[in-house]
Chains A and B, each alone.
Chain A
Amino acid sequence: GESVGLHLPTLSVQEGDNSIINCAYSNSASDYFIWYKQESGKGPQFIIDIRSNMDKRQGQRVTVLLNKTVKHLSLQIAATQPGDSAVYFCAERNTGTASKLTFGTGTRLQVTL
Chain B
Amino acid sequence: DSGVTQTPKHLITATGQRVTLRCSPRSGDLSVYWYQQSLDQGLQFLIQYYNGEERAKGNILERFSAQQFPDLHSELNLSSLELGDSALYFCASSVLDRVSPLHFGNGTRLTVT
- B103 — nearest CB in chain A belongs to which residue? A46
- A35 — nearest CB in chain B belongs to which residue? B101
For window 89-110 of A, CB contacts with B under 8 Å fall at: 89, 91, 93, 97-106
With A and B bound together, what is the CA distance between A104 and B102 in angstroms? 15
Q: Are A99 and B39 in contact (CB under 8 A)?
A: no
Q: Are B45 and A101 in contact (CB under 8 A)?
A: yes
With A and B bound together, what is the CA distance between A46 and B100 in angstroms? 11
Q: Are A43 and B45 in contact (CB under 8 A)?
A: no
Q: Which chain B residues lie closer than 8 Å to A97 at the CB level?
A: 56
Q: Are B99 and A101 in contact (CB under 8 A)?
A: yes
**Size of the chain A interface, CB-CB below 8 angstroms:** 29
Q: Are B105 and A105 in contact (CB under 8 A)?
A: no
**Size of the chain B interface, CB-CB below 8 angstroms:** 31
**At the interface, yes or no: B16 with Cβ under 8 Å from chain A?**
no
Q: Are A99 and B48 in contact (CB under 8 A)?
A: yes
**At the interface, yes or no: A49 with Cβ under 8 Å from chain B?**
yes
**At the interface, yes or no: B18 with Cβ under 8 Å from chain A?**
no
Not counting A4-B39, A43-B106, A44-B43, a sample of 10 additional A-B residue pairs whose C-beta atoms are within 8 angstroms of each other reads A5-B41, A5-B42, A34-B99, A41-B106, A43-B105, A100-B45, A100-B48, A100-B58, A104-B42, A105-B42
- A39 — nearest CB in chain B belongs to which residue? B106
With A and B bound together, what is the CA distance between A69 and B113 in angstroms? 47
**At the interface, yes or no: B21 with Cβ under 8 Å from chain A?**
no
Q: Which chain A residues lie closer than 8 Å to B97 at the CB level?
A: 99
For window 1-18 of A, CB contacts with B under 8 Å fall at: 1-6
Q: List 18 A-B contacts (CB under 8 A).
A: A1-B109, A2-B39, A4-B39, A32-B100, A34-B101, A42-B107, A43-B92, A43-B106, A44-B92, A98-B99, A99-B50, A99-B97, A100-B58, A100-B99, A101-B33, A101-B99, A103-B42, A105-B42
Q: Are A42 and B40 in contact (CB under 8 A)?
A: no
Tell me, rounded to whole Å, the shortest Cβ–Cβ distance linking B54 to chain A. 10
Q: Are B45 and A102 in contact (CB under 8 A)?
A: yes
Q: Which chain A residues lie closer than 8 Å to B81 at the CB level?
A: none
With A and B bound together, what is the CA distance between A41 and B107 in angstroms? 8
Tell me, rounded to whole Å, the shortest Cβ–Cβ distance linking A64 to chain B. 12
